[in-house]
Chains A and B, each alone.
Chain A
Amino acid sequence: MKTGPHMLLAGKLTMLSLAMFAFGYVVMPPLYNIICDITGLNGRTNSAAVAAPDGTVISDRTITVEFVSVINSSAAWSFKPVVQTMEVVPGKTYTTNYIAKNLSSGPAVGQAVPSVAPSSAAKYFNKIECFCFTKQEFAGRAEKEMPLIFFVEPDLPRSIDTITLSYTYFNTGEEPENLSDS
């Protein structure tokens, strides 16, 4: 029996299956992140600071921004926003704070992951400064007030009048590297 054409075809099909594995394992996760960053799918907001707004203020409408905090079940923290809601004017810059406390006696490193609902509002919600851009290091039982500076873009669709910003606080499980205050 001639095996030449069989091996050639089998080789091509093997390459196809390896390419699909690479597509699933190597290509899809970054592709997914890019798509989420561009479209704000899944409530994804900017993970690095953006520039302050250009000063265009649309004063004929106010948006309610609600602040929510969630603690990952494996973390011994208390984590709360200072204010629950704010009335904001699109285009203006606002500052608020979250307070996190390490409830364990040992040192810990925390990281907040933000999510915006409705997800169609995510790309209009911009953080100029956010504690979620970095990790925070805590000594045992230490407490920190952590700032958030944000603005809502003026071209936010008219159908949206409430934006919910939710932070989930995680214990990264790392050892603090430079705890200056301990």
Chain B
Amino acid sequence: MSTAAAGHHDHDDHDHGPAKGWTRWLYTTNHKDIGTLYLLFALVMFFIGGGMALIIRAELFQPGLQLVDPLFFNSMTTMHALVMIFGVVMPAFVGLANWMIPMMIGGPDMALPRLNNWSFWIMPFAFLLLLSTLFMEGGGPAGGWTLYAPLSLQGGNSFAFVIFSIHFMGISSVMGSINIVATIFNMRAPGMSLMQMPLFVWTWLITAYLLIAVIPVLAGAVTMLLTDRFFGTSFFNAAGGGDPVMYQHIFWFFGHPEVYILILPAFGIISSIIPTFARKPLFGYASMVYATASIAFLSFIVWAHHMFTVGMPLAGEMFFMFATMMISVPTGVKVFNWIATMWRGSMTFETPMLFAIGFLVMFTIGGLSGLMLAITPADIQYHDTYFVVAHFHYVLVPGAIYSIMAATYYWMPKWTGNMYDEKWGKIHFWVSTVFLNVLFFPMHFVGLAGMPRRIPDYNLQFADWNAVATIGAFGFGFSQLIFVWVIYKCIKGGEKATDEVWEGADGLEWTVPSPAPYHTFEKPPAQYS
């Protein structure tokens, strides 16, 4: 904070607040400021990615080509995925980690604050690069977010920008993860053992390791695409002795752990919220930790279940099928632990709890369709249909996104010092949940009936359910404006929050004042020493 101290002669050195002016945000090394930046960035990208989804759904409202040309439609499906995964869910989780992990473990800040500033500020530039390709000759990437070779290599030269933006996002994620691991290992309050850490910290520790292990593999895969496209190598070019199927293996070796990167922190958030509003400690803490670790391990040996239709020996198909099904065991442990936590608790249903229970119900629906997709012979029928789209949207929207919204409602009083508007929070939950199911549930039906994904036009028989889904999409999209309104109101004012905020809340973050002062735990908490 040397820049801040320079302009603050009238302040006591040990009590300085944030720097003045907009450069505060540019130069900040404070974990709370950076957490806020990440969360606001994710919110902005949520609306950009959501706008792309609405273009997709508007085009699919009726069969036939109405609004956009097919190439643009395909670049919308590609960009929607890249923005939502790398620009919304991952930054939002990193933002929550920045805000909450130091406060949860009683540390003064992140271990590497300057690196933290860097990790964030790479992101806006990465996404500027990515989004700018939409305005370049040849358009944005249109071969799907998986960037399968050789299709992805047949687009315009703007492809280089896509690769570089993925490199930047990757560097940002890896630096953020290194910081989180260092913070968790080195900054815990004296006396706090690993098995005393809140589950959000545990799930993030494991997620950070997953990120460090697989994001570089993605970087390697897209670097091969780059050299194949521009420098004459033949990693994936059959004419030069390469093999396009190898891309799929390398990509999904990254891609499947990535799926758990997008959901493990959500498990941590739900494990924080449900005990608070059930007013009981979390059931089976240790089994939750081991379940998270097992899911992370299994995620490395199931990648080829994305490739059942590519062709594999029978033994390979059986292995990947059973390994995939095995993941439902630790996941089931988690779901039953959450239910057991609620069992005979004195539950109340404030907005964070509503989102957490919505997560529990709808994430399980997505998990069940995932189990159906794991069955090799069935997957050959479901592969690349809307059933897959329904599956991963059920685990990502009411899964990852709902957990982020739940976390926002849960911790926002601690961040701003004000209670959010409970009535509008509940309206936000119910309107979102109704429209979300109107949006995604019919995709199961059209998918089982054979509607392919990533197609701007479709057979007449799918028309009715697509129209329903589009109505749901616009309802869901616009109901997120309620979320923005509630956040805005909460930042501006409202009923003052107490330090504990929630009656049943447990954890170090509730022992600091609301709003959390700029610097917390400069002296470690006494509880554990």
Contact = CB atoms under 8 A, between A and B. Distances in A.
Contacts of B179: 10
Given A10-B182, A28-B250, 18 more contacts: A9-B185, A9-B186, A20-B213, A20-B214, A20-B217, A21-B220, A23-B220, A24-B219, A28-B217, A28-B246, A32-B243, A42-B243, A42-B311, A111-B239, A120-B313, A120-B314, A170-B239, A172-B240
Interface stretch (A11-19, A78-86, A136-144, A146-154): A11-19
Contact of B216 (A21, A41, A47, A168): A21
A24 B313 contact: no
A67 B394 CA distance: 45
A20 B212 contact: yes
- Chain A: interface residue count, which band? 35 or more
A120 B314 CA distance: 9
7 contacts: A9-B182, A9-B185, A20-B214, A20-B216, A32-B249, A41-B316, A113-B239
A32 B246 contact: yes
B117 to A, nearest CB: 15
Nearest to A72: B239
Interface string B175-186: 001110110011
Contacts of B151: none
Interface in A11-51: 13-14, 16-25, 28-29, 32-33, 36, 39, 41-43, 47
A14 B220 CA distance: 15
B313 A39 contact: yes
Nearest to B244: A42
A24 B250 contact: yes
B221 interface: yes
Contact of B217 (A9, A13, A21): A21
Contacts of A18: 216
A17 B216 CA distance: 6
B264 interface: no
A1 B186 CA distance: 11
B466 to A, nearest CB: 32
A13 B246 contact: no
A89 B213 CA distance: 50
B186 A5 contact: yes
A19 B312 CA distance: 28
Given A9-B181, A9-B185, A28 B220 contact: yes
Contacts of B218: 24
A162 interface: no
B311 A29 contact: no
A36 B243 contact: yes
A158 interface: no
Nearest to A9: B182
B480 interface: no
Contacts of A29: 224, 235, 242, 246
Contacts of B243: 32-33, 36, 42
B448 interface: no
A93 interface: no
A42 B370 CA distance: 26
B112 interface: yes
Contact of B212 (A16, A23, A171): A16
B438 interface: no
A13 B181 contact: yes
A119 interface: yes
A6 B186 contact: yes
A113 B238 contact: yes
Contacts of A25: 219-220, 223-224
Contact of B221 (A19, A24, A120): A24
B215 interface: yes
Nearest to A42: B245
A1 B238 CA distance: 55
Contacts of B249: 28, 32
B313 A172 contact: no
A10 B176 CA distance: 11
B185 A23 contact: no
B268 to A, nearest CB: 20
Contacts of A6: 111-112, 182, 186
A168 B354 CA distance: 57
Closest 5 CB pairs of A and B: A24-B220, A170-B239, A25-B220, A21-B216, A24-B217
A112 to B, nearest CB: 10
Contact of B313 (A111, A113, A119): A119
A16 B217 contact: no
A45 to B, nearest CB: 13
B2 to A, nearest CB: 14
A13 B219 contact: no
A29 B235 CA distance: 7
Interface string A82-123: 000000000000000000000000000001010000011000
B37 interface: no
